[in-house]
Amino acid sequence: MTDLRIQAVGDDASIHDWQYVHNLIIPGDALSLDDVRARTGRNHLEVAHLGDDLVGCTTVRPPTDDNGATATVIARVLPEYRRRGLGTRLYEHALGQARALDAQVIETVVLASNPDGLRFAEQRGFVELERYLLREGDTVPWIDLRLA
């Protein structure tokens, strides 16, 4: 696993890779390439490759005037690459970025249909804050969690 490469999203290829991972793991909230481009202006997005293979992505939503000193850290790993320690490495990398932005509170968000993601967050000390539906008609709730 020493050849895990994590790189910031910036060019079209990395935007497409980040979109692919996000949309595969969060199919109910699929994003267009323009949606991802817009997110690069307010969040820190990265993609991860193991050798030549795309394995995951991260999002760090930085602290803002609206959220105080809270940063949201999200690590996503494609299903076929889970349980290899990659999620831990991506999470720790993103957590370091959030802390470098002076985040005092760390949160994450997991789709309830992703038990691997929920278990991953809970094993790292996150506790559930709330469950909610993003849009009317949605059936799978989102779960906001905070690092205890």
For the segment 11-21, what is each residue's pLDDT rounded down to a tens digit? 999 999 999 99
145 band by pLDDT with thresholds 50, 70 and 90: very high
pLDDT over 60 (residue 1): no
The helix/strand count (H/E) of the chain reads as 4, 7
**What percent helix, strand, coil does the chain show, rounded to 5?**
35, 35, 30
Sign of torsion over alpha carbons 56, 53, 31, 27: negative
Query: pTM of the entire structure?
Result: 0.92
For 4-147, which CATH superfamily applies?
Gcn5-related N-acetyltransferase (GNAT) (3.40.630.30)
Q: How far apart are CA 49 and CA 58, in angstroms?
A: 12
- What Cα–Cα distance (Å) separates residue 30 from each residue in 5, 20, 25, 35? 25, 9, 9, 9
R_g of the chain computed on alpha carbons: 15
67 band by pLDDT with thresholds 50, 70 and 90: confident
| Domain chopping of the chain, boundaries | 4-147
Residue 51 gets which letter from DSSP? T
State percent of the chain over pLDDT 70: 99
